[in-house]
Structure 1
Amino acid sequence: MKPLIISIGNRYRCDDGVGPYTLDLLQLVLGESSDFIENIGDTSALLDIWQDRDKVVLIDACYADDTDDKNLGQIFRLDGLNESLPADNPVSSNHAISIANAIELGKLLHQLPQSLTIYSISGNNFSQGEAISPPLLIAAQHLVSLISDELNTGMKACTSTP
């Protein structure tokens, strides 16, 4: 079964569009070797989307609460099945149902994939518009390399985050 790559985000909410932007780049690089789904923020729909899948990669933006922008574009990687996502974790999103809650619900309903890797890129401009901050665009290109390497080799990708 092909890996499934899901982006979460709204293309018309500035930095929130980095997930779909990254998905577009990955489609160009990976082509038919993976399946791709763009989700505009309905995290409850993830349960039906990812159930019965072997490998799922989820890409989302997270909020960088940083006034000097030093953390903009930072990439976080988590194993969604084996690492907990506390509410104050940077990877916790601002969607109605958080990714962490969707995972917990998936556990209860037995609707999780065999493998779930979550990548999140930190941004701070979630206002209306299509302008993704330049550090996030750079991070998206780096993330495409990380994900394509991980899918092609099966090795865990390494980010700049400890």
Structure 2
Amino acid sequence: MKTAIMGFGNPVRSDDGVGMYVIEELQKIIGDNDAVNIFDMGTAAFEVLFGLKGHNKILMVDAVVNSNEPVGTLFKVPAEEVLRAPQDDPMVFLHGMKWDQALSYSKKILGDDYPEDIQVYLIAVENTKLDTVLSEEVKKAGDKVVQHILEDLKLINV
């Protein structure tokens, strides 16, 4: 089974960079591994279309604003719960697309090759101001996501 782990966010927008933080921490622990591909997606959601192919399992990490939960609250949801419906408009601006909509396009384009097991970790954030430092609450939540992913992949003893 091949797994892709994708981290999203903007590392110069404070807590929005938590997806990058998780990816960096996992890369330090997992390193090169034939069964796991780690992708720093930044804010480039359209590349999700291509990153999914050939993987059985996908784990995604991103920040979520306006969740009405305390900063650092961690959510784990099946991707089906957060998919945004694809738009059949041929003029969809690809650079303005978010990953949830990109997943919907992927599902449509990949058909039978679309992975069945896609889980999304979302971390509640407030601060997305220009800054490269994560708040302590969000960093702690990012560390929890790293541990959850290692447990999920049965790599906890790596």
TM-score normalised over the length of structure 2 = 0.79
Return the offset for 1:86. 6.5
Who is 1:47 aligned against? 49
Q: Is the 8 A contact 1:65 1:124 kept in 2?
A: no
Q: Is the 8 A contact 2:64 2:122 kept in 1?
A: yes
Who is 1:143 aligned against? 145
Return the offset for 1:106. 1.4
1:51-106 C-alpha deviation (Å, 9 max, x unpaired)? 2211111111111455xxx61011111111xx33277xxxxxxx932333112211
1:2-36 C-alpha deviation (Å, 9 max, x unpaired)? 42111111111101111010111111222233221
RMSD: 2.1
Q: Is the 8 A contact 1:64 1:71 kept in 2?
A: no
Q: Is the 8 A contact 1:64 1:72 kept in 2?
A: no
1:146 to 1:73, Cα distance in 2 relative to 1, 3 A: same
Q: How does 1:25-64 map to 2 (within 5 A)?
A: 25-33=25-33, 34-64=36-66
For the pair shown, the structure with the greater C-alpha radius of gyration is 2
Q: Distance in 2 between matches of 1:137 and 1:35?
A: 22
1:55 to 1:65, Cα distance in 2 relative to 1, 3 A: closer
Q: Would you say 1:3 and 2:9 are equivalent positions?
A: no
Q: Distance in 1 between matches of 2:77 and 2:81?
A: 9
Q: Is the 8 A contact 1:6 1:38 kept in 2?
A: yes
Q: Is the 8 A contact 1:53 1:114 kept in 2?
A: no
Equivalent residue of 2:46, what SS?
A: helix
For this pair of structures, how many residues does the alignment match?
141
Q: Is the 8 A contact 1:18 1:132 kept in 2?
A: yes
Q: Would you say 1:129 and 2:131 are equivalent positions?
A: yes
Structure 1, gaps ≥5 residues long: 88-94, 154-162
Instruction: In structure 2, give the amino acid aligned to 1:149.
Output: E
1:149 to 1:65, Cα distance in 2 relative to 1, 3 A: closer
Q: How does 1:77-156 map to 2 (within 5 A)?
A: 77-80=76-79, 83-85=80-82, 96-110=96-110, 112-152=114-154
Q: Distance in 1 between matches of 2:3 and 2:100?
A: 21
Who is 1:159 aligned against? none
Structure 2, gaps ≥5 residues long: 85-94
